[in-house]
C-alpha cells in the first residue's frame, strides 16, 4: 500500500467522504482516488453509500467509508 493509499484509508476511516473531497484533500485526481480505493478494497472492506452526508463538505450524495475492524 502506498503512502497516498494509506492516507486515503485514514481519511475515510469511520468518516464518510465524497470523492471530490478525498481528491481535494489528497491532491489526487478522481481516477487516482478510484485506483487507491481498488487497492484498499483488496485488503479491507469499505462501503459506498449513495445517500449520505460527506463529513468534509456536508453535501448529500455518494460517499465512501472504511469500517474499523472490531478489536
DSSP 26-47: HT--HHHHHHHHHHHHTTS-EE
Using one digit for the tens of pLDDT, what is the confidence trace for 5-63?
Answer: 899 999 998 799 999 999 999 999 999 999 999 998 888 888 899 999 999 999 998 99
27: exposed, middle or buried (C-beta count within 10 Å: 0-12, 13-18, 19+)? Answer: exposed
> Whole-prediction pTM value?
0.85
Q: Which domains does the chain have, with CATH numbers?
A: 3-66 (1.10.10.10)
Residue 16: which of 58, 63, 51 has the closest Cα? 63
Amino acid at each position: 500500500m502506498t503512502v497516498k493509499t494509506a492516507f486515503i484509508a485514514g481519511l475515510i476511516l469511520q468518516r464518510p467522504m465524497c470523492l471530490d473531497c478525498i481528491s481535494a484533500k489528497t491532491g489526487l485526481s478522481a481516477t487516482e482516488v478510484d485506483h487507491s480505493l481498488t487497492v484498499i478494497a483488496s485488503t479491507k472492506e469499505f462501503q459506498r453509500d449513495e445517500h449520505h452526508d460527506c463529513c468534509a463538505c456536508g453535501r448529500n450524495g455518494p460517499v465512501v467509508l472504511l469500517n474499523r475492524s472490531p478489536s
